[in-house]
Chain A
Amino acid sequence: MLKLVGGGGGQDWACSVAGTGLGGEEAAFEVARPGDREEADGWGPGWGCAGIPDPAPGAGMLQAGAAGPARGGQGAEEVGESAGGGEERAVRHPQAPALRLLNRKPQGGSGEIKTPENDLQRGRLSRGPRVAPPTPGMGDRSGQRERLAPHSLGAPPGIGTAAVNGLLHNGFHPPPVPPPLVCSRGPVGGGDATPPRLPLLPELQPQPPLPQHDSPAKKCRLRRRMDSGRKNRPPFPWFGMDIGGTLVKLVYFEPKDITAEEEQEEVENLKSIRKYLTSNTAYGKTGIRDVHLELKNLTMCGRKGNLHFIRFPSCAMHRFIQMGSEKNFSSLHTTLCATGGGAFKFEEDFRMIADLQLHKLDELDCLIQGLLYVDSVGFNGKPECYYFENPTNPELCQKKPYCLDNPYPMLLVNMGSGVSILAVYSKDNYKRVTGTSLGGGTFLGLCCLLTGCETFEEALEMAAKGDSTNVDKLVKDIYGGDYERFGLQGSAVASSFGNMMSKEKRDSISKEDLARATLVTITNNIGSIARMCALNENIDRVVFVGNFLRINMVSMKLLAYAMDFWSKGQLKALFLEHEGYFGAVGALLELFKMTDDQ
């Protein structure tokens, strides 16, 4: 399970840049919000700019580190926990520490500071020693194992405090205290700690602190308990992530009910993440926040705030993870709930490079839970779900709200890079009916090859201007009119790209025509498969979601038309405003659920 950790570095949004220039990102960041740097000591920028090498970050870390230790020492962390939990973790990720260290090296100008962080999680006993010298007991590995362990987990930024005041969970912590113990952010941060937590700790009620013998994991748990006080709540930041084949979808909950006290105690890097994310709409070169989708004044897990929707290309994942490492997100010890294939593909990278452990979730579960949730809270007072009235009449066709209060059964067609089709009978009863590899990835892939375009937006823009009937062979091109024997209209497409069999026609069409034809081909095909599934499953509502529909009115109307026309009005195509983000929302919901379960 996982932890989330940190969040990651914004730097990497740009996939093209990936690997290379941090500089660029940084610049972007700066542009976006010049002020942050100072404030955050580099963390703020983190998302945007990852400014790793920068001294500023270093400084930030330092501070954090210092804080951490200070607090950690303080008893809070030491609270006892069941040994089991902690150990498990260690066992699971034995080698992580080493790697982590490597990664971090660059970061730190100041060795000491760094240390605490490094150890974070896994709290490996062995690590202890490495931890910042200042910490008591550090020197003595054997003797202090237990204590050390916690420290190591703890991330530098002052988690310790949190434990103390109970807010810690949420990522707020008191100002750093200078000296002593290594801080235990263990509880929070240890990415490792988190996962075991759930299963391990049955009881969440506050317990008396146990000074000794606690594994890092235990400490984490402990801290959490104390933080939540009134309620079990995961520590901030709250993210849900859906790592798809083409896009990473991230939802971020921004608490708006932060009290002044909380604000003051909020650890720096947490704060900078919040500020950075919420004050920008673009991150790096390719990260985008879909501001228009923001859900305001939402109450989640007892906190009021706004839910932000962010996406960036999956190819920027490595940069993202790298930034997570550089920014030491693991120190925030939140749990990073992630779904999509990438949750599996990048799990190891998250752990090894950024010391973050993912809580991996089934993407279809997340999709459905996310969808039901978003629909239930509505879209800032407006309905989430809509359909097209008069889909077969271009003049009269218009978007209308649809009440999805009683959604079952529904056929859910998720159109990402590829397409999955689910029959959903209740909240927990669904099956994957089929899928097709002809999806958004195919549209974009073919468009790139055929027209030389590079982005989805570009491809759609071209498609909007093109005419697919130059490219496709229509029924009337073959039969001179309708094919009456089978009741096919002359305007129906008989063969997608069929006219391209002829050289003259190939020479006479435009890129826009090709883009349009690609879009129409893929869309109609999905519609056709969805319709067959609806028939086979005997379901008459078909809900289309996924980022293939983003800013893609052409496809939505085509789908609405196709469902209505071919079913003679029996099937209804439904759409949702947050089309591509349900998986990520579902992942976030899982974060709360984990906590509840405990």
Chain B
Amino acid sequence: MAECGASGGGSSGDTLDKSITLPPDEIFRNLENAKRFAIDIGGSLTKLAYYSTVQHKVAKVRSFDHSGKDAEHDHEPPYEISVQEEITARLHFIKFENTYIGGCLDFIKDHLVNTETKVIQATGGGAYKFKDLIEEKLRLKVDKQDVMTCLIKGCNFVLKNIPQEAFIYQKDSDPEFRFQTNHPNIFPYLLVNIGSGVSIVKVETEDRFEWVGGSSIGGGTFWGLGALLTRTKKFDELLHLASKGQHTNVDMLVQDIYGGAHQTLGLSGNLIASSFGKSATTDKEFSKEDMAKSLLHMISNDIGQLACLHAKLHGLDRVYFGGFFIRGHPVTMRTITYSINFFSKGEVQALFLRHEGYLGAIGAFLKGAEQDNPNQYSWGENYAGSSGLMSTAPELGPTRRARSGTFDLLEMDRLERPLVNLPLLLDPSSYVPDTVDLTDDALARKYWLTCFEEALDGVVKRAVASQPDAADATERAEKFRQKYWDKLQTLRHQPFAYGTLTVRSLLDTREHCLNEFNFPDPYSKVKQRENGVALKCFPGVIRSLDALGWEERQLALVKGLLAGNVPSRPLWSRSPWERPWLVDSYSKWLQRLKGPPHKCALIFADNSGVDIILGVFPFVRELLFRGTEVILACNSGPALNDVTHSEALIVAERIAAMDPVVHSALREERLLLVQTGSSSPCLDLSRLDKGLAVLVRERGADLVVIEGMGRAVHTNYHAALCCESLKLAVVKNAWLAERLGGRLFSVIFKYEVPAE
């Protein structure tokens, strides 16, 4: 039932350490605009939540006003770029030991500029205890919120908004953490919260949940009984003792009762017949370790058994575990998992949450922020501002960490638009965007981490260069370097820190870190220049394409799509265009083109410049000719040199001015430009802009074209769709090419038709 925090010692919360030195800018960030505070105080850990707004620099593009003027001069860019300030919403969650609560509250008070806030939502067992302190220090009225309600709200929130929030834990396998892709429908599920007692709650919808049972044998039993048996006072120490013990010295096993006959009877001799049974019949001393281990097994098994009985009664196969007994402790995750597997015979899955510790605070925050309706938005984990699973703000560096105690952070950015599944996914519940799981594949992990480390200098340089007029660019770029470097080091040791480690997550983390230091779009000028050049070439390319025969033109169009993916100065010795390609279903595609036109094609664009203008648009034009409608989807925000939606709009407008086909298609809405909702060089088809999804459904898209290495190889290479799809890329990485069985600049042309 009640949550009662745990890692520390029993009563440490009373003595408040005010002298602690906090690195405020890195812990309690953006306090100036903070509002809607919520606090969850457990037995030993405090979780603080608040909402604030963050000013970001954002690169905006805008067409020049050409009206009246004649065409642009040769050296004039096709559009103008401006950096603007934009306000975005961010949720901050900070976890720290109760010891620091006084100091933290003082710090918050001192930095809290916004005085509109009058109330702080509070939950957790300690909320009552610290009520006066909070009210006195913050001069906010404490509004107590129900613990379980907060937990459940928090759980729903992270399950919906954080991909790979949940994981299963397998001690002896590599990786130990196996993250789950989010089920499109998270309900119904069972939440088992193991605090001092155990609460089992069935959650059916956002607002409907039911306490279906509980048990008094929980974390408090382990701690209390363990303290009595071993004279060890701290929860963590008890767990440590348990991890070294042999429960078979204390428990009566099946083989103790049956002797060796258990084998012939098909019984597993190692099963515990009676917990602590040997201490009832044997007159001897038992070691602390052995007793702690036996106790741990007893409690974990009991909880697992009850959870299974409830899961069975309610026909549920997903059970999420939380509470201080579980929180980040591999020992208890292991025993609970074992127990669930044993009692359910594998039919029920024990799932744990990366942000389990924050659920109460998140829920309390959501309760207090209901008028802002945070649930109508999608939120994304900000990798730059969040410490990973089982790591305590490692970016602080060891010395500062020692000074500041253990602080753990989670930040979530509000996304402008809700994200949903692409309706064309064959099976949304089994869709995994990423092709290679780097948590799983040590070799690949090593390679890519090194690869990103080595590329860091270049990124820093590019970032500085993108803001020639900013005096502090170099300084910020160095901060960026440090932050991203630290993230990479964390990931070397804890590949599971942010969910499954993938090339995509490495790329996304880099983008988040760049944003963090106000480098919103280091490539904006590069893209601008390349777009300008490519636009100039467009008419010529179209002319030469139109001059080709139908069959030749189809090949040329495909090469064009692929070519935009390749460095402009060819480095290859052998032409990559020589077929057969590494993956080559071009003939099948050509055959298909001889048939009836597709109704509507959804195209995910990749790079700016040559790629979008000389590759994608001619291809789009050909489809339009055939009578196929086209939805052209581009990133909402910048990532590398990928074309953004706003850039694409300008490009399309410019092309329309040159090309009547595109012009009329735009006008007649046979060509639609939409945003993906993403700012990643990769593509997660389960988190796409809702508008895109609606359009796809309305138009009855029956062809999906995904181009570029990030979207078609690092991700989605294995994605199964329920319509035809083209996945095109040139492999620009020798290591990856080799993995795929080819060489650098191998061509992937994957045309797939779903099985009937």
Name A residues whose Cβ lies closer than 8 Å to a Cβ of B.
16, 244-246, 313-315, 340-342, 344-348, 416-418, 434, 436-450, 454, 471-473, 475, 478-480, 483, 485-488, 492-503, 506, 514, 521, 524-525, 528-529, 532-533, 535-536
Which one, B149, B199, B213, B286, contacts A532 given CB within 8 A? B213
Residue of A at shortest CB range from B235?
A: A501
- Other A-B contacts than A438-B275, A442-B298, A445-B278, 9 sampled, CB-CB below 8 A, are A454-B283, A473-B220, A485-B211, A495-B2, A514-B228, A524-B216, A525-B217, A525-B302, A529-B309
A341 touches B221 (CB 8 A): no
Which residues of chain A are within 8 angstroms of B254 by Cβ–Cβ distance?
A: 341
Q: Is B291 in contact with chain A by the CB < 8 A criterion?
A: yes
How many angstroms from the CA of A503 to the CA of B301 in the assembled complex? Answer: 27
Q: Which residue of B lies closest to A342 (CB)?
A: B257
Q: Which A residues are CB-close (under 8 A) to B228?
A: 450, 497, 500, 506, 514
B271-311 interface bits toward A, Cβ cutoff 8 Å, 1 = contact, 0 = none: 11111111111010010000100000010011001100110
Is B405 engaged at the interface, CB distance under 8 Å to the other chain? no
Query: Per a CB cutoff under 8 Å, which of A442, A472, A496 touches B276?
Result: A442
A448 touching B302 in the complex, CB below 8 Å, given contacts A344-B259, A345-B259: no
| A532 and B277 form a contact (CB under 8 A) | no
Q: Which residues of A contact B215 (CB under 8 A)?
A: 525, 528
**Which 4 A-B residue pairs are closest in the complex by CB-CB distance?**
A500-B224, A345-B259, A441-B274, A445-B276
Contact A498 B280 (CB under 8 A): no
CB contacts (< 8 Å) of A533 on chain B: these are 309
- Whether A444 contacts B309 by the Cβ 8 Å rule is no
Contact A479 B301 (CB under 8 A): no
Residue among B1, B43, B149, B216 with max Cβ neighbours from chain A (10 Å): B216
Is B221's CB under 8 angstroms from A495's CB? yes
Say yes or no: B1 contacts A418, CB within 8 Å.
Answer: no
Cβ–Cβ < 8 Å partners of A478 in chain B:
1-2, 4, 125, 196
A interface: dominant SS: helix
Query: B54 — which chain A residues lie within 8 A by C-beta?
Result: none
What are 27 of the A-B contact pairs (CB < 8 Å)? A245-B257, A344-B262, A345-B257, A345-B261, A347-B261, A418-B277, A437-B277, A438-B302, A439-B275, A441-B274, A441-B277, A445-B277, A446-B225, A449-B276, A449-B279, A449-B291, A450-B229, A475-B1, A485-B146, A495-B1, A495-B195, A495-B197, A500-B225, A500-B228, A503-B10, A528-B215, A536-B312
Select one of B125, B217, B313 contacting A521, CB under 8 A: B217
Query: Given A340-B257, A500-B224, A524-B216, A245 and B277 touching (CB < 8 A)?
Result: yes
Q: Give complex CA distance A535, B225 in Å.
A: 30
Taking CB atoms, residues of chain A closer than 8 Å to B10 are 501-503
Instruction: Provide the bound-state CA to CA distance between A197 and B251, in Å.
Output: 39
Bound-complex Cα distance A514 to B218 (A): 17
Chain A residues with Cβ below 8 Å from B291 are 449
Identify the interface centre among B11, B196, B233, B310: most chain A CB within 10 Å of its CB.
Answer: B196
Tell me how far the C-beta of B29 lies from the nearest C-beta in chain A, rounded to whole angstroms. 33
Chain B residues at the A interface, C-beta cutoff of 8 Å: 1-2, 4, 10-11, 43, 125, 128, 146, 148-149, 195-197, 199, 211, 213-221, 223-225, 227-229, 233, 250-252, 254, 256-262, 265, 271-281, 283, 286, 291, 298, 301-302, 305-306, 309-310, 312-313, 343
Give which listed residue, A446, A493, A494, A497, contacts B279 with CB less than 8 A.
Answer: A446
Q: For the complex, give the distance between the alpha carbons of A497 and B217 in Å.
A: 8
Name the residue of chain B whose CB is nearest to the CB of A520. B216
CB nearest to B6 among chain A residues: A501
B309–A532 contact, CB under 8 A?
yes
Tell me how far the C-beta of A321 lies from the nearest C-beta in chain B, rounded to whole angstroms: 13
Q: A246-B277, A417-B273 are in contact. Are A494 and B196 (CB under 8 A)?
A: yes
Given contacts A441-B277, A493-B216, contact A498 B221 (CB under 8 A): yes
Known contacts A449-B291, A525-B302; A440/B259 CB under 8 A: no
A245-B257, A439-B274, A445-B276 as given contacts; A501 in contact with B223, CB under 8 Å: yes
A471 surroundings in chain B (CB, below 8 A): 224
Chain B residue contacts of A521, Cβ below 8 A:
216-217, 221
A434–B344 CA distance with the chains assembled, in angstroms: 11
B171 smallest CB distance to A (angstroms): 21
Q: Are B274 and A442 in contact (CB under 8 A)?
A: yes
Most chain A CB within 10 A, of B128, B256, B281, B306, is at B281
Q: State whether A487 and B221 are in contact (beta carbons under 8 Å apart), knowing that A344-B259, A441-B275, A494-B216 are contacts in the complex.
A: no
Give A503 to B14 CA distance when docked, in angstroms.
14
Please tell me if the beta carbons of A345 and B146 are within 8 angstroms of each other in the complex: no
Nearest CB in chain B: distance from A361 CB, A: 12
Q: Do B221 and A496 touch across chains, with their CB atoms under 8 A apart?
A: yes
Q: What separation, in Å, do the CA atoms of A244 and B273 have in the docked complex?
A: 11
B260 neighbours in A (Cβ, 8 Å):
345
Evaluate contact between B277 and A501: CB separation under 8 angstroms.
Answer: no
Interface centre among A16, A418, A514, A535 (most CB of B within 10 A): A418
Looking at A341, A347, A503, A529, the one whose CB has the most chain B CB atoms below 10 A away is A341
Asked if B221 and A479 make an inter-chain contact with CB atoms under 8 angstroms apart, the answer reads: no
Q: A441-B274, A442-B277, A498-B220 are in contact. Are A535 and B313 (CB under 8 A)?
A: yes
Q: A418-B252, A441-B252, A472-B216 are in contact. Are A315 and B276 (CB under 8 A)?
A: no
A438 touches B224 (CB 8 A): no
Find chain A residues with CB under 8 A from B221 CB.
Answer: 495-498, 521
Is B148 in contact with A486, judged by CB distance below 8 angstroms?
A: yes
Which of A16, A345, A440 makes the CB contact (< 8 A) with B258?
Answer: A345
Q: Is B224 touching A499 in the complex (CB atoms < 8 A)? A: yes
Does A344 lie within 8 Å of B233, measured CB to CB?
no
B281–A314 CB distance below 8 A: yes
**Which B residues touch A503, using CB under 8 A?**
10-11, 227, 233
Chain A residue numbers with a CB within 8 Å of B227 are: 500-501, 503, 506
Q: CB distance A245 to B216 under 8 Å?
A: no
Contacts of B125 in A (CB 8 A): 478
* Shortest CB distance A584–B (Å): 16
B626, chain A: closest CB distance, angstroms: 60
Query: Given A314-B281, A347-B261 in contact, is the A437-B224 Cβ separation under 8 Å?
Result: no
Q: Known: A342-B257, A485-B148, A495-B224. Is A440-B217 also a contact (CB below 8 A)?
A: no
A417 to chain B: which residues have CB within 8 Å?
A: 252, 257, 273-274, 277, 280
